[in-house]
């Protein structure tokens, strides 16, 4: 299946202009005027792992990315024991594909003050978020912002901004290496900035760098109605010297988790528009037409979708009807658990320049996330809650209900420490 989405700047209805066609090979292909998907290593072997031999850019995470800050602090909070015992399996900065990130740092989160304040600059090549003493709960400390002030700041957080510190960027070592970029390249990047500033939807946030125009960082919110709802997903982007003749390089901060067939645990993003997957015609990167905005909207709308199981090439044909729906629901359950884990370490170690957004987001959305978890524990299917309305259907698996229950109290403790009020009502 191939899906095509028109450029949001050319059509105000960004996400509704999708065209579905079938390619000759019967594989799935995603496109924003483009796009596609590749293999997945599903935990229960529902999805078979396929080798990645396309010779693409090496996305291995070996440079001290912010999610893997390797401190050794411990927290004996009983509410987190189940979560910590489930997560604290490894304690290495460099994670090979398939190995989850260590969560030893869960005991010392970024405080609500740090997240709701200004960005903190760091000259370290392995930046560490500002630390402050852990508070017992939202009730035992003075909240930095009132609820109304918090909602206003959250709503007004800039979608696009230019910042200075790029020290923790994944592609920090790439670029022109001190050479002056061509004027044509600089002009193209400036054009991209203008498109992003005018055209970003309200759920995609971008920071670019005044002294490193080749770098960009984006945070995407997981769409409602998907197993990624309410999550924050972080991507670093590099515009190579050959841009726009070649597409941008995009790295996903996975935390060692494979939560989508197109988002590899090594950080690779598999998308036709990035030329990291097969595609025909305008599914691929087109130097004179394709934009960075198209890439970001494609990732959010076409990768983080309601049925990511079918992003796998050929799975529409291989698993038709009821069997496909059963496998898709099981896959969604697995992906929601991984999304909760992603929330956890993003909350504890937010990306630079997005500390405030992360704090505001999870303080604002804590009750909706916890309500969804309680509904899922009662059998409500993953992704079926829209506008915070809970359906009557109860088809979730027992094992999934148990998995969510094991994580719930840990989520509550961390949301409370971040400044979210009245979360204890959701405890089990």
pLDDT in tens, 272-308: 999 998 877 788 999 999 999 999 999 999 999 999 9
- How many Å apart are CA 307 and CA 286, to the nearest integer? 28
Domains of the chain in sequence order? 40-273+319-426 (3.10.110.10)
- H helix or E strand, kind and range, residue 325: helix 321-348
- 221 — phi, psi (to 5°)? -85, 140
Q: Mark out the alpha helices in 157-291 (DSSP H runs).
A: 183-199
- H helix or E strand, kind and range, residue 338: helix 321-348
Q: For position 193, what pLDDT does the model report? A: 98
pLDDT, average across residues 342-358: 94
- How many Å apart are CA 112 and CA 142, to the nearest integer? 10
pLDDT band for position 204 (cuts 50, 70, 90)? very high
Helix pair 398-417, 355-377: axis angle to 10 deg: 150
- How many Å apart are CA 343 and CA 349, to the nearest integer? 10
Residues in the chain: 428
Collect contacts of 104-107 with beta carbons under 8 A, ≥24 apart.
Answer: 104/70, 104/71, 104/72, 104/73, 104/74, 105/69, 105/70, 105/71, 105/73, 105/348, 105/349, 106/75, 106/80, 106/344, 106/345, 106/348, 106/414, 107/73, 107/74, 107/75, 107/77, 107/80, 107/134
- How many Å apart are CA 218 and CA 369, to the nearest integer? 22
**Residues labelled catalytic:** 270
- How many Å apart are CA 292 and CA 188, to the nearest integer? 11
Q: For position 295, what pLDDT does the model report? A: 98
- How many Å apart are CA 90 and CA 211, to the nearest integer? 36
Closest by CA position to 219, among listed 228, 211, 195: 228
- How many Å apart are CA 218 and CA 234, to the nearest integer? 6
Whether pLDDT at 131 is above 50: no
Q: For position 11, what pLDDT does the model report? A: 40
Whether pLDDT at 23 is above 60: no
Q: For position 235, what pLDDT does the model report? A: 98
């Amino acid at each position: 299946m191939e899906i095509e989405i028109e450029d949001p700047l050319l059509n105000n209805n960004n996400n509704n202009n999708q065209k579905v066609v079938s390619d000759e090979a019967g594989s799935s292909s995603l496109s924003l005027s483009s796009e596609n998907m590749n293999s997945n290593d599903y935990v229960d072997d529902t999805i078979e792992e396929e080798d990645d031999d396309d010779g693409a850019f090496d996305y291995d995470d070996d440079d001290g990315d912010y999610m893997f800050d390797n401190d050794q602090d411990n927290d004996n909070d009983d509410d987190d024991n189940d979560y910590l015992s489930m997560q604290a399996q490894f304690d290495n900065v460099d994670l090979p594909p398939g190995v989850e990130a260590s969560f030893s740092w869960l005991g010392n989160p970024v405080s609500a003050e740090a997240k709701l304040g200004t960005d903190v600059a760091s000259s370290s090549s392995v930046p560490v978020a500002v630390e402050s003493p852990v508070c017992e709960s939202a009730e035992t400390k003075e909240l930095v912002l009132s609820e109304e002030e918090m909602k206003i700041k959250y709503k007004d957080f800039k979608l696009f901004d230019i910042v200075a510190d790029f020290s923790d960027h994944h592609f920090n070592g790439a670029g022109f290496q001190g050479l002056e970029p061509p004027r044509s390249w600089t002009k193209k990047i400036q054009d991209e900035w203008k498109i992003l500033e005018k055209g970003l939807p309200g759920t995609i946030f971008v920071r670019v760098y005044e002294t490193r125009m080749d770098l960009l960082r984006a945070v995407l919110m997981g769409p409602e109605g998907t197993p990624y709802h309410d999550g924050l997903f972080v991507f670093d982007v590099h515009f190579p010297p050959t841009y726009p003749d070649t597409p941008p390089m995009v790295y996903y901060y996975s935390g060692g988790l494979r939560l989508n067939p197109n988002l590899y645990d090594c950080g690779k993003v598999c998308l036709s528009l990035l030329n990291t997957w097969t595609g025909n015609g305008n599914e691929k990167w087109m130097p004179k037409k394709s934009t960075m905005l198209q890439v970001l909207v494609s990732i959010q709308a076409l990768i983080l979708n309601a049925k990511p199981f079918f992003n796998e090439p050929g799975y529409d044909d291989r698993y038709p009807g009821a069997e496909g729906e059963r496998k898709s629901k099981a896959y969604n359950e697995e992906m929601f658990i991984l999304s909760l884990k992603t929330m956890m370490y993003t909350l504890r170690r937010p990306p630079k320049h997005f500390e405030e957004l992360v704090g505001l987001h999870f303080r604002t959305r804590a009750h909706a996330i916890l309500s969804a978890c309680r509904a899922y524990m009662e059998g409500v299917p993953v992704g079926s809650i829209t506008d915070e309305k809970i359906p009557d259907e109860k088809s979730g698996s027992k094992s999934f209900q148990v998995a969510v229950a094991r994580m719930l109290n840990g989520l509550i403790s961390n949301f409370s420490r971040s400044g979210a009020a009245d979360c204890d009502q959701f405890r089990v």
